[in-house]
Structure 1
Amino acid sequence: MHIQRDIIARLKNADSLRFSQLKPHQDIPNDLYNYHLKQLIGDGLIEKIETGYQLSAAGKRHVADVHHTSDQDDRLFKFNALLIVTRRTDGTLYILNQRRTSQPSYGIVGLPGGTILKSEPLLDGAQRKLTQETGLSGSFRYLGTERRILYDGARLFSDVLFPFCLCEDAIGEPIPTEFGENFWSPIDAAIANDSRIHDHIDYIPKVLTAIRDDTLTELQGFYHEQLSR
């Protein structure tokens, strides 16, 4: 609700405010304003004190979070780890692939991966996503990052940072999960799977090719931005 957002915005820049000072607009009926204020108190974001009202500890965390305090475009900014998991069997190098079973990428085959949580170390998040999405476990090292900024006409569609994380010691066998069907692909097939014209990440084929050709050290620490309109 805009009323609740405006109440929180007023307290963001004040130690405390009285009831009348906290009201976002004087033309808002008192009963409606009081209803939303009580909602925020009930949600634990605002607390009543002797001098009026102030943000609670939870309220202060709330306003520190860009996803709550900025406009909708900021909600489109994400941090998604890409998991490159290798295994060599009988002299053949394989890459872990996932066939997505949910929208918006239904049916697409490529590397597994997913969102890193707030305050979560990158490589810990990669380990968590590996187990969560594929049933495997293993340790990771960081390779580099691609940022993909996509527009739908003049409007921002998504802005995502993709850190590439490499695992060479995976334990177990991949299982199907709610995220997709997981399986090992020969390295050349994996390169082809991630060489799509649309909905692709530029550096995946480059990194996989470097792994195949044993030239990965030349890419270590890379940063690349892809801007598509």
Structure 2
Amino acid sequence: MDYRDLSFVQYKILSGFIRSPGLSYSHAQPENIDRDLYKYHLKFLVEKGILSKSGSVYRLTDAGKKLVQYLDVHGDTHPTFKISVLCYVLRNHSELLMQKRLRQPFFGDIDVISGKIQPGETPENAAVRKLAEESGLSASFSFLGVIRKVRRWPKTEIFEDTLYHICLAENPAGNLVTVNDFGENMWVSLNRVPDLISGNMTYTPNSLRLLELISAPPKETFYIHEDITLSRI
């Protein structure tokens, strides 16, 4: 069960167990929560294996301990970083694999293939997986560095906050899938890339800086931070 599937009342019940190894029925009831409502949701948490009952004491199960790591002691959840990978794939050191995005947000932007890193997955393995899923190609990747992209819209409201791991591969194998549900894939000459990406909704000077870094990879890993306000999405 995912923590995002829980209700507000269930969050409040579980918050009490963050601060205690075990609670009785009466001590586990949050303030300002109706008794019948509390009884219903407590039973639900036990049935789902999030709480266990031994005698008169309720305790978090291992599954419950996994869920409450996303809560604070007041039972509130907070957004976390997205963790993703950017797949820079070169051919003959003169062309870059790019994708015209055919999904929201940023529909129509042209950039490299990207995607979320799954739990337990290395950035390099995520890049291998995303490249295969979205282009049909295979390659070995090396990790170069990280760029954190904070994107605000409208005005100061955070629209996205993602840590992108930059991974580089050269001369992939296989036949390129040019169009699929992810977008339109194409090889683009490196000298054409700056003009092609300049119209992106997410374009910043760091877009060019990353091109420089993958063209001449540094010996040490790098970290870049950017915080921008988008004009449109």
Q: TM-score, normalised by structure 2?
A: 0.84
Partner of 1:124: helix, strand, or coil? Answer: helix
Partner of 1:184: helix, strand, or coil? Answer: strand
Q: Residues 65, 165 of structure 1: CA spacing in aligned structure 2 closer, same or farther, 3 A cutoff?
A: same
Residue number in structure 1 paired with 2:25? 19
Q: Which runs of 5+ in 1 are unaligned?
A: none
Q: Within 5 Å, give how 1:22-37 maps onto structure 2.
A: 22-25=28-31, 27-37=32-42
**For the Cα contact (< 8 Å) 1:16–1:51, is it kept in 2?**
no
Q: Residues 18, 93 of structure 1: CA spacing in aligned structure 2 closer, same or farther, 3 A cutoff?
A: same
Q: Residues 85, 52 of structure 1: CA spacing in aligned structure 2 closer, same or farther, 3 A cutoff?
A: same
Count of aligned positions: 219
Residue number in structure 2 paired with 1:50? 55
Structure 2 Cα separation of the partners of residues 165 and 95 of structure 1: 13
Q: Does 1:4 align with 2:4?
A: no
Q: Does 1:102 align with 2:103?
A: yes
Shift of 1:197: 6.2
Structure 1 Cα separation of the partners of residues 71 and 26 of structure 2: 27
Shift of 1:70: 5.5
Shift of 1:56: 1.0
Aligned-pair identity in percent equals: 30
Q: Residues 44, 174 of structure 1: CA spacing in aligned structure 2 closer, same or farther, 3 A cutoff?
A: farther
Query: Which is richer in helix?
Result: 1
Residue number in structure 2 paired with 1:59? 64
Q: 2:140 is matched by which residue type in structure 1? A: S
Report the RMSD for the aligned CA atoms in angstroms: 2.3
Q: Which runs of 5+ in 2 are unaligned?
A: 1-6
* Counterpart selection for 1:177 from 177, 180, 188: 180
Shift of 1:207: 3.0
**For the Cα contact (< 8 Å) 2:101–2:108, is it kept in 1?**
yes
**For the Cα contact (< 8 Å) 1:102–1:179, is it kept in 2?**
yes
Residue number in structure 2 paired with 1:204? 207
Deviations 1:170-196 (A, max 9, x none): 111221332112121111222333334
Partner of 1:48: helix, strand, or coil? Answer: strand
Residue number in structure 2 paired with 1:161? 163
Structure 1 Cα separation of the partners of residues 172 and 76 of structure 2: 39
Partner of 1:188: helix, strand, or coil? Answer: coil
* Counterpart selection for 2:196 from 193, 202, 206: 193
Structure 2 Cα separation of the partners of residues 63 and 117 of structure 1: 20
